[in-house]
Amino acid sequence: MAGKKETPRQKMIGMMYLVLTALLALQVSNAVLEKFAIINETLGQLITDTNENNARELQKIIEAGGKSEKEKIKSAVQKAQKVRDLTKTTNDWIDGLKKKMMEVSKANTANGQFVVDEKLINNHGSQVATMMIDKKSPWGTDFQKQLDSYVKELNGITGMNFGTLAKAPKDIPVFASDEDHVRKDFLTFTFENTPVIAALASVTQIQSEMLEYESQALRKLAEDAEAATVRFETVIPMVRPKSSVVAAGAPYEADMFISASSSSLSPEMFYNGKPIPVEVDATTGIKMGKVKFTAAGGTYDAQGVSKQSFKAEIRLNEEVYPQTIEYFVAKPTIRVTTGTAPRLYMGCGNDVNIDVPALGTNYNPSFNAQGAELQKGSKTGNVIIIPNQRKVTVSVSNAGTFIGNETFDVKPVPRPRILAKDNNGRDIDLKNGIKAGAVLGLRINAEADENFKNEVPKDANYRVRNMNIILARGNARVAETTVTSELVDLSAWRAQMRPGDRIVVEPRNVVRMTYKGTPEQVAVSGQDIINIPIN
């Protein structure tokens, strides 16, 4: 059949056919004619073997079809029977033709059968050639009609495309460009100047080719009837472990079995009713369906494991092979790092890293929060949490699949310390104080708590915006001024300062610059007042 890979048997037939047709064009000797007798006998045995094989193939199709109610299978059985009947009818007619050839060549008989003996082999006469080519003889024309009719009916029954059996030189590549033969028709090319034994061998060869057509047709119908024998080209061992994780000291258990693949099979595979791609595995050569989905969380047991399943389905030759596949989803461990503190600060931009180590490179998180505003951080898993309630819950999802919740406690922002420094930035000793006239100015700073500054540095920037500065003597106020910056000029009071006096700093307005860059008022109280003794 056109385009079909030839079996070794078909190649042998083709080779014998080429040898036979080539020798027919030559003046052959008795030795060559003996070789035709051998070819004819070999082809005859081949026909017998093929006929028996085809009969067994038909029986196998009938047995398979008799158990099925499928219309496709019933139709295949009926077609297979028609193919066998057609081949038998045509083959019987050709056997009658061969008998006629031996009659006209006056072959010997034994027990009612014609015998291929020396007399027949040495017959160089043209009786058979005349019988097959002469226009007055119907045998040649009827022979070609039988062959053409067989191929036409076989194609119609099977829907296949078999080539002609009545091959003229133009149909045979080796003779297609031969000027001596290319214009000849099938009968002239096959039987012209052909001794009897060569003519018989030619007809026998065509019979063997016809039976090979029948073999191909029955194989195709056997597949349709699901009676074909599947030949597996690839067989590999498979191991299915009871568990992929085994603790040290525990037994490892697995099932070992055989997996096989045939290139003639084209299975369709489905996951939960949806088709999935089927690809040939590069390592094993087996066709495998590629199942890939994001495992979703569910109800976890005490060990943090959720039992789940999906429906796998393979369809092959109209048969469906379903199976429910169970698998287990382990609850991912969410790892949270927030610097050195396990809690968040109210209203601050808390820089938090939320990771799920088990997901590795597949980690593609998204976050939602209750009790806080969220801002995306600088890297995967990094998020800025700005709380507005005392409790914050952050839900973690990966590629749209919910992973879990993390809850945070929120603590208030610690009060800053109000510090007095000299113009050089050195802390003033509030116990021993300063000498009268020795300090020309002060720097009053609001400094963040050390832990707070380390954990949320972008929220730990304080400024004293307004304060009262008093030169006090006993209960009296010697001088007083209001300052709107952190720098205090004392030069105007140098002449008034006396030992025993004190400078009183009363902060009135202190602000903190938040993560967002907006000022936030800080409550001040009497404990923020600074008294600097003068000695």
Domain end call among 362, 396, 411: 411
Residues in the chain: 535
| Residue 78 covered by a domain | yes
Q: Can you give the pLDDT at residue 165?
A: 92
More confident residue, 108 or 167: 167
Tokens representing residue 120 in the block: 């027949």
| Residue 65 covered by a domain | yes
Q: Can you give the pLDDT at residue 503?
A: 92
Contact call for residues 197 and 123 (beta carbons, < 8 A) = yes
Residue with tokens 């091959």: 167
> Maximum Cα–Cα distance for the chain, whole Å?
161
CA dist 205 and 20 (Å) reads 9
Specify whether the backbone of 317 is left (phi greater than 0), alpha (psi in -120 to 50) or beta.
left
Summarize pLDDT for 170-218 with one digit per residue, the tens. 888 777 777 777 778 888 888 887 888 888 888 999 999 999 999 999 9
The mean predicted confidence, pLDDT, of the chain is: 83
**Residue 123 domain boundaries:** 8-224
Q: Can you give the pLDDT at residue 415?
A: 92
48 and 155 part of one domain:
yes
CATH number for the domain that contains residue 501? 2.60.40
Contact call for residues 347 and 388 (beta carbons, < 8 A) = yes
Q: What is the DSSP letter of 524?
A: -
Structurally, the chain folds into a number of domains equal to: 4
Q: 253 pairs with which residues across the strands?
A: none
345 and 379 part of one domain:
yes
- Mean pLDDT, to the nearest integer, of 418-426? 88
Summarize pLDDT for 330-387 with one digit per residue, the tens. 777 778 876 544 689 999 999 999 988 877 777 889 999 999 999 998 888 899 999 9
| Residue 2 covered by a domain | no
Residue with tokens 């050639």: 129
Q: Can you give the pLDDT at residue 270?
A: 94
More confident residue, 499 or 249: 499
Contacts of 5 (CB under 8 A, 6+ apart): none
Q: What is the CA radius of gyration of the chain?
A: 51
Summarize pLDDT for 40-83 with one digit per residue, the tens. 778 888 888 998 999 998 888 888 777 677 788 888 889 999 99
Burial class of residue 40, CB neighbours in 10 A (0-12, 13-18, 19+)? buried
Relative orientation angle of helices 30-65 and 196-224, to the nearest 10 degrees: 20
Residue with tokens 């000695």: 535
Whether residue 447 is predicted with pLDDT greater than 90 in this model: the reply is yes
Contact call for residues 314 and 289 (beta carbons, < 8 A) = yes
| Residue 3 covered by a domain | no
**DSSP characters over 83-124:** HHHHHHHHHHHHHHHHHHHHHHTT--EETTEE---HHHHT--
HSE-CB at 513 with a 13 A cutoff on CA atoms is 10
CA dist 383 and 277 (Å) reads 37
- Mean pLDDT, to the nearest integer, of 446-450? 93
395 and 510 part of one domain:
no
Domain end call among 330, 365, 389: 330
Residue with tokens 């199976």: 323
**How open is the CA angle 29-32-34, to the nearest 5 degrees?**
115
Contacts 24+ apart (CB under 8 A), 63-69: 63/227, 64/222, 64/225, 64/226, 64/227, 65/225, 65/227, 68/225, 68/226
Q: Can you give the pLDDT at residue 2?
A: 41
305 and 429 part of one domain:
no
| Residue 229 covered by a domain | no
CA dist 143 and 187 (Å) reads 9
Residue with tokens 């593609």: 364
CA dist 73 and 219 (Å) reads 14
| Residue 436 covered by a domain | yes
Q: Can you give the pLDDT at residue 33?
A: 62
Q: Can you give the pLDDT at residue 338?
A: 62
Q: Can you give the pLDDT at residue 120?
A: 64
Q: Phi, psi at residue 436, to the nearest 5°? A: -60, 130
CA dist 20 and 107 (Å) reads 21
More confident residue, 44 or 529: 529
Contacts of 128 (CB under 8 A, 6+ apart): 101, 104, 105, 191, 194, 196, 199, 200
284 and 155 part of one domain:
no
Summarize pLDDT for 86-118 with one digit per residue, the tens. 999 999 999 999 888 888 877 665 555 555 656
Q: pTM for this one?
A: 0.47
User: Quick one: pLDDT band at residue 26, thresholds 50, 70, 90?
Assistant: very low
Contact call for residues 399 and 294 (beta carbons, < 8 A) = yes
430 and 393 part of one domain:
no
431 and 445 part of one domain:
yes
Residue with tokens 């009786």: 127
| Residue 407 covered by a domain | yes
301 and 390 part of one domain:
no
Q: How many distinct helices (H) and strands (E) make up the chain?
A: 9, 26
Domain end call among 315, 330, 345: 330
375 and 257 part of one domain:
no
Q: Can you give the pLDDT at residue 440?
A: 84
Report the C-alpha dihedral over residues 411, 413, 417, 422, rounded to 10 degrees.
150
128 and 238 part of one domain:
no
277 and 339 part of one domain:
no
206 and 314 part of one domain:
no
| Residue 525 covered by a domain | yes
